[in-house]
């Protein structure tokens, strides 16, 4: 007979099943099921659990970890089968954050789609907008028409986003093993990136800034100076992470050799991103299948050869340096292209106006309103058609992939020639990488499960979509 | 669906994707009935009456639906004058050789590797927007995938993604599964596509070849009801285990309630006017 703590089949509230014999603490009940006694653990009741486990004939314990919010990864449920402190089986339960974003996108215009997909992975929203827009642009056959300034702005935002996402990965990964200072300084620096996002796009997240055809707005005045100041500051602050962690014996003790996944395992499981590069294989879509001029930037693909959580940490740390290099080059290019267009010239696709925040707090463009309301009936009709009906995308399908902070992120967009996506499916790197949970955790200690999962940095908003 | 040629009149909207109309390349955009066998290519004339706009370009048409009217209004409410307009929804059809670039190399190598089965396995090859899609018959999916993975000249060692698509009006082939394969060795991507009828939504699982397809196939099952035979544990993955229906099918309602905003009422998205 086995001892089960948290019944894997009964979900989060085993105490609610009818006929359960509740013993003792009403908030931490114990019940007997066919699978053995089930304990609901809420803290300060470990004695009962230990006593119950001691009564069992073997040491096999099934622990239902979650569904809860392990730092900022989102709501994840882990079902662990333990033999003593060794994990013999590990499975993931996902879907707690499923909101039907892909289904919703099928009921909005192609332009509105970017508003939805940016909400999938809240730590790397620009990557989602980028993959989606690249797929739509391929279907429209306008990939070659995207203005250079728009491409540079996209690269700038993607790389700033990579820095902020890696900061959170390192910060929460540190927090999960008790390195709280890494967490506080990680979020401190991330705030600087979010300030830049707010300056450029108007929002800290949910930007919907990268649009099919270009970007929504030109750079605001003063943005380049702020970016240069940020680069200067980050060059001072990034070494702090290395000083805190790289050679820290406790940190290394928790990370080195944990969550081993070699190249063959990565390919079989489709694992990409830092986990793949930690096997020493320099696969980075920015280099191997470059988009938006990534091949013209000077940066290195970072690899490590240890296949473990420590290697993934070091890769993220170094990738932030590389992203800073790219941001620096973007800032120079944007400084030289002031005034260039940031969206395609095709008026059938490009949004009609560059909006500015008016006195009522709404985005507006007085020049454009004067034009459509006072000067040109055709312009008004055109504006109305484009904004309410949207543009049509020729039938077909496209699969566009970008290198997100977590690996290959792709959008499979299908059009039936209408004004709305017929289907937009996202190949989410967190979703795929999370499949490696079993191979990363099984055979290891239960304390290493958290480190192993943190090392692939899953974000459940993207996993569940 | 084992033999596409055995399909009946239900499919008569599907124009010569089997290759019998491959000789009528480069159709100009045309309105109404035209000579030179255009009606034959498009199935039967009563399905494609006058007012039908046929798009240009493809040498074989893959009609998946027909759209009527223009402004999302049906019946007598449409005073736009476009109420009688009928436009077929045409997906890119089979591409003629040469496909261009390395696509031919992959197609040749695959045909050589499959040997006698090649004709039976590959339904058609579509090259569109620089991407190659190989449409396969389902009973040959696993052997083809295995070959694509193991042949050193092909070496598609990673299955990036599996996504389901529901074409409710593509009779007899309503459910499609698209497998996006990536070759890191050769830095190439191709897409395999398998179509099955709604009444028999079975596709063999490729988990034995690509373990990463495990969750992808569960997702396609969860959202589209495609049953992947041979999958180690085909259960729902994102929806609750006891959820009825498959939410991303086109016949599954989006749901929603009217929302009031600044005095106006905005209907839920699935009941708003659509422009087709």
The predicted structure's pLDDT at residue A192: 92
- Polymer length of chain A: 465
Give the span between the Cα atoms of B82 and B96, in whole angstroms: 35
Does residue B30 register a pLDDT over 90? no
Which of A271, A288, A420 faces B187 most closely, judged by CB atoms?
A: A288
Main-chain dihedrals φ then ψ at residue B264, nearest 5 degrees:
-100, 155
Structure tokens at A337: 């292209």
Residues of B in contact with A464 (CB under 8 A): 238
- Residue ranges of chain A with per-residue pLDDT less than 70: 1-30, 35, 42-46, 52-59, 69-73, 353
| Residue B14: C-alpha distances to residues A393, A414, B48, B175 (Å) | 21, 19, 11, 16
Give the span between the Cα atoms of A201 and A218, in whole angstroms: 9
Give the span between the Cα atoms of B273 and B265, in whole angstroms: 14
> Is the CB of A465 less than 8 angstroms away from the CB of B238?
yes
Closest approach of chain A CAs to the CA of B222, in angstroms?
11
Main-chain dihedrals φ then ψ at residue A228, nearest 5 degrees:
-65, -35
Q: Could you tell me if A78 and A389 are in contact, meaning their C-beta atoms sit under 8 angstroms apart?
A: no
Q: Could you tell me if A62 and A447 are in contact, meaning their C-beta atoms sit under 8 angstroms apart?
A: no
ipTM computed for the complex: 0.83
The predicted structure's pLDDT at residue A155: 94
Residue predicted with more confidence, B2 or B242: B242
| Surface of B (82-141) touching A: CB under 8 A | 87, 89-92, 128-131, 133
Give per-residue burial for B221-245: e unless 16+ CB within 10 Å, then b.
bbbbbbbbeebeebebbbbeeeeee
pLDDT in tens, B70-110: 766 666 666 777 777 777 788 888 888 888 889 999 988 88
Q: What angle do CA A376, A378, A380 make, to 5 degrees?
A: 75
Residues of B in contact with A94 (CB under 8 A): 237-238
Strand partners, B182: B158, B189
The predicted structure's pLDDT at residue B208: 93
Give the span between the Cα atoms of A153 and A136, in whole angstroms: 18
Residue predicted with more confidence, B13 or B233: B233
State whether residue B22 sits within 8 Å of chain A by CB. Answer: no
| Residue A404: C-alpha distances to residues A155, A168, A285 (Å) | 12, 14, 9
Give the span between the Cα atoms of B124 and B19, in whole angstroms: 9
The predicted structure's pLDDT at residue B4: 42
Contact partners, residue A178, CB within 8 Å, separation at least 6: none
> Is the CB of B160 less than 8 angstroms away from the CB of A396?
no
> Is the CB of B163 less than 8 angstroms away from the CB of A427?
yes
Residue with tokens 């004939």: A57
Domain with CATH 1.10.645.10 in chain A: 101-344+396-430
Q: Could you tell me if A364 and A358 are in contact, meaning their C-beta atoms sit under 8 angstroms apart?
A: yes
Give the sign of the dihedral formed by CA A32, CA A33, CA A36, CA A38. negative
Give the span between the Cα atoms of A273 and A282, in whole angstroms: 10
Residue predicted with more confidence, B42 or A153: A153
Does residue B23 register a pLDDT over 70? no
pLDDT in tens, A382-400: 888 888 888 989 889 999 9
The predicted structure's pLDDT at residue A104: 92
DSSP labels, A7-64:
-TTSTT-GGGSTT----S-TTS-EEEETTEEEE---SS-HHHHHHHHHHSSS-EEEEE
Strand partners, B180: B161, B191
- CATH-assigned architecture of domain A101-344+396-430: Orthogonal Bundle (1.10)
Give the span between the Cα atoms of A409 and A402, in whole angstroms: 5
Does residue B153 register a pLDDT over 80? yes
Segment holding A356, helix H or strand E: strand A356-357
Which stretches of chain B are assigned E, i.e. beta strand? 30-31, 53-54, 62-68, 86-91, 122-128, 131-136, 158-166, 175-183, 188-196, 202-204, 227-229, 259-261, 264-266
DSSP labels, A278-340:
TTT----HHHHS--TTGGGS-------SS-SHHHHHHHHHHHHHHHHHHHHHHHHHHHHTTT-
Residues of A in contact with B238 (CB under 8 A): 94-95, 98, 464-465
Residues of A in contact with B65 (CB under 8 A): 416
The predicted structure's pLDDT at residue B43: 41
Least confident range of A193-197, B53-57, B152-156: B53-57
State whether residue B212 sits within 8 Å of chain A by CB. Answer: yes
Closest approach of chain B CAs to the CA of A75, in angstroms?
12
Q: Could you tell me if B215 and B232 are in contact, meaning their C-beta atoms sit under 8 angstroms apart?
A: no
> Is the CB of B89 less than 8 angstroms away from the CB of A416?
yes
Residue predicted with more confidence, B15 or B232: B232
The predicted structure's pLDDT at residue A65: 78
pLDDT more than 70, % of chain B: 74
| Residue A348: C-alpha distances to residues A239, A391, B108 (Å) | 48, 7, 41
Domain with CATH 3.30.460.80 in chain B: 103-229
Residues of A in contact with B163 (CB under 8 A): 412, 423, 425, 427
Question: Between β-strands B227-229 and B202-204, what pairing exists: parallel, antiparallel or unpaired?
Answer: parallel
CB count in 10 Å sphere of residue B212: 24
Asked if CATH classification 3.30.460.80 holds for the domain at B103-229, the reply, yes or no, is yes
> Is the CB of B239 less than 8 angstroms away from the CB of A98?
yes
- Polymer length of chain B: 276
Query: Which of A8, A12, A107, A281 has the most B C-beta neighbours within 10 Å, making it the best mutation to test the interface with B?
Result: A107
Contact partners, residue A159, CB within 8 Å, separation at least 6: A323, A324, A326, A327, A330
Query: Environment class of residue B160 by beta-carbon count within 10 Å: exposed (0-12), middle (13-18) or buried (19+)?
Result: buried
The predicted structure's pLDDT at residue B29: 40
Contact partners, residue A136, CB within 8 Å, separation at least 6: A110, A113, A212, A393, A398, A413, A421
pLDDT in tens, B188-211: 999 999 999 999 999 999 999 999
């Amino acid at each position: 007979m086995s001892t089960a703590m948290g019944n894997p089949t009964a979900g989060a509230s085993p105490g609610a099943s009818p006929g359960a014999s509740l013993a003792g603490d009403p908030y931490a009940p114990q019940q007997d099921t066919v699978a053995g006694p089930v304990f609901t653990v809420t803290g300060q009741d470990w004695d009962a659990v230990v006593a119950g486990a001691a009564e069992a004939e073997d040491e096999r314990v099934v622990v239902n970890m979650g569904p809860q919010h392990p730092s900022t990864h989102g709501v994840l449920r882990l079902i662990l089968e333990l033999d003593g402190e060794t994990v013999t089986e590990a499975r993931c339960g996902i879907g707690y954050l499923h909101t039907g974003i892909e289904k919703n996108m099928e009921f909005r215009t192609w332009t509105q789609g970017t508003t939805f997909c940016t909400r999938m992975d809240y730590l790397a929203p620009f990557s989602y907008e980028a993959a989606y827009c690249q797929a739509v642009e391929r279907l429209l056959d306008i990939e070659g028409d995207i203005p250079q300034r728009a491409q540079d702005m996209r690269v700038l935002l993607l790389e700033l986003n990579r820095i902020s996402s890696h900061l959170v990965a390192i910060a929460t990964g540190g927090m999960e093993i008790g390195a709280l200072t890494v967490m506080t300084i990680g979020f401190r620096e991330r705030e600087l990136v979010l300030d830049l996002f707010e300056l450029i796009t108007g929002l800290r997240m949910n930007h919907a800034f990268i649009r099919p055809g270009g970007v929504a707005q030109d750079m605001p005045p003063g943005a380049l100076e702020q970016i240069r100041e940020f680069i200067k500051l980050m060059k001072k602050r990034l070494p702090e992470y290395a000083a805190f962690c790289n050679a820290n014996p406790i940190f290394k003790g928790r990370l080195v050799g944990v969550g081993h996944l070699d190249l063959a395992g990565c390919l079989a499981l489709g694992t990409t991103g830092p986990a793949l590069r930690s096997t020493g294989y320099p696969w980075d879509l920015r280099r191997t299948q470059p988009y938006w001029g990534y091949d013209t930037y000077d940066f290195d693909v970072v690899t490590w050869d240890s296949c473990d959580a420590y290697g993934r940490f070091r890769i993220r740390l170094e990738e932030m340096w590389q992203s800073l290099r790219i941001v620096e080059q973007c800032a120079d290019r944007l400084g030289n292209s002031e005034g260039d267009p940031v969206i395609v010239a095709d008026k059938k696709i490009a949004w009609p106006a560059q909006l500015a925040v008016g006195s009522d707090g709404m985005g507006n463009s007085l020049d454009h309103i004067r034009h459509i309301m006072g000067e040109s009936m055709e312009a008004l009709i055109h504006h109305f058609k484009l904004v309410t009906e949207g543009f049509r995308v020729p039938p077909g399908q496209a699969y566009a992939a970008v290198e997100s902070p977590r690996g290959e992120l792709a959008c499979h967009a299908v059009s039936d020639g209408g004004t709305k996506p017929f289907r937009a499916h996202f190949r989410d790197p967190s979703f795929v990488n999370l499949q490696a949970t079993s191979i990363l955790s099984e055979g290891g200690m239960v304390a290493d499960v958290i480190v192993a999962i943190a090392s692939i940095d899953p974000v459940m908003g993207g996993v569940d979509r | 669906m084992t033999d596409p040629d055995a399909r009946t009149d239900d499919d008569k909207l599907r124009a010569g994707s089997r290759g019998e109309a491959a000789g009528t390349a480069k159709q100009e955009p045309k309105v109404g009935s035209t000579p030179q066998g255009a009606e034959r290519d498009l199935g039967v004339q009563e399905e494609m009456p006058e007012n039908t706009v046929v798009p240009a370009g493809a040498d074989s048409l893959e009609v998946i639906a027909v759209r009527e009217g223009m402004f999302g209004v049906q019946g007598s409410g449409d005073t736009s004058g476009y109420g009688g307009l009928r436009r077929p929804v045409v997906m890119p059809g089979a591409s003629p050789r040469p496909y261009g670039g390395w696509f031919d190399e992959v197609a040749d190598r695959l045909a050589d590797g499959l040997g006698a089965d090649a004709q039976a396995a590959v339904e058609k090859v579509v090259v569109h927007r620089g991407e190659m899609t190989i449409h396969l018959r389902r009973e040959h999916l696993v052997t083809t995938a295995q070959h694509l993975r193991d042949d050193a000249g092909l070496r598609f060692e990673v299955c990036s993604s599996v996504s389901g698509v529901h074409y409710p009006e593509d009779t007899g082939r309503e459910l499609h599964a698209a497998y996006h394969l990536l070759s890191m060795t050769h830095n190439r991507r191709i897409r395999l596509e398998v179509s099955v009828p709604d009444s028999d939504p079975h596709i063999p699982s490729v988990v034995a070849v690509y373990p990463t397809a495990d969750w992808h196939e569960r997702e396609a099952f969860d959202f589209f009801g495609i049953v992947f035979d041979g999958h180690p544990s085909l259960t729902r993955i994102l929806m609750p285990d006891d959820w009825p229906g498959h939410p991303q099918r086109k016949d599954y309602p989006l749901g929603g309630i009217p929302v009031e905003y600044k005095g106006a009422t905005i209907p839920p998205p699935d009941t708003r006017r659509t422009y087709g």
